[in-house]
Chains A and B, each alone.
Chain A
Amino acid sequence: GAVVSQHPSRVICKSGTSVKIECRSLDFQATTMFWYRQFPKQSLMLMATSNEGSKATYEQGVEKDKFLINHASLTLSTLTVTSAHPEDSSFYICSAPPPSVRQETQYFGPGTRLLVL
């Protein structure tokens, strides 16, 4: 089945540094990927839509200069949390719709847990 991977699985960084999270579709190409954020014991909140070859689309209230998204190829999207602060600590999850099934269906990565000290 379709597989989406993320790297790293967890990262700890100091406040003020930037962190890059990778999302890869392993056996299919994805022109669109999605980035979600999930705080402890809460639901997933869509942050942005990553579009291969064009700018990402951000949801209301998400700072595009804070969360930089680059969809460099049909199998890779990266989320960079710039100048991270403790309130950015969260579980970041990406997803992608594989072309071989109904495109309303998405497959999720295993998530990246970010802790900013």
Chain B
Amino acid sequence: GQQLNQSPQSMFIQEGEDVSMNCTSSSIFNTWLWYKQDPGEGPVLLIALYKAGELTSNGRLTAQFGITRKDSFLNISASIPSDVGIYFCAGQRITGTYKYIFGTGTRLKVLA
């Protein structure tokens, strides 16, 4: 099945550092979403983006819907140990179908 490309694949950072990750596609998407998944759990929604150029924050998290509609970015400021986990982007190509294509994931590890 199709997947979105996420970068980086994994990263180790020091507590307090800012983190950036992105998700790219060769296709246009109408909706971008960012999820976090802890080991053995289902994904939890972090941020949803609905139009090109949109910049949305949720606490220390900020995400942007790329202007070309082919990419999205997630930033985490002042990382803390509980930020560890796998971050997935998900795109929806056709509005109203609810079908997602997931990214390959970015595994984040925070060093205290």
A residues whose Cβ falls under 8 Å from a Cβ of B: 4, 6, 32, 34, 36, 42-46, 49, 59-61, 91, 93, 95, 97, 102-111, 113
Contacts and interface: CB of A to CB of B under 8 A. Distances in A.
B58 interface: no
A93 B80 CA distance: 27
B98 A103 contact: yes
A59 B33 contact: no
Interface string B38-53: 0011111100101000
B95 interface: yes
A26 to B, nearest CB: 14
A46 B90 CA distance: 11
Closest 7 CB pairs of A and B: A108-B42, A104-B31, A44-B102, A43-B102, A111-B42, A108-B43, A45-B1
B98 A109 contact: no
A110 B50 contact: no
Given A34-B99, A46-B1, A113-B40, A105 B45 contact: yes
Given A104-B50, A105-B48, A46 B42 contact: no
Given A45-B1, A102-B50, A113-B40, A107 B102 contact: no
Interface of B: 1, 3, 30-31, 33, 35, 40-45, 48, 50, 88, 92, 95-96, 98-105
23 contacts: A6-B42, A32-B98, A43-B3, A43-B88, A44-B43, A45-B1, A45-B3, A45-B102, A46-B1, A46-B99, A46-B100, A46-B102, A60-B1, A102-B50, A103-B96, A104-B50, A105-B33, A105-B45, A105-B48, A108-B44, A110-B41, A111-B41, A113-B40
Given A45-B102, A104-B95, A104-B98, A93 B3 contact: no
A108 B26 CA distance: 26
Most buried by A among B41, B92, B98, B102: B98
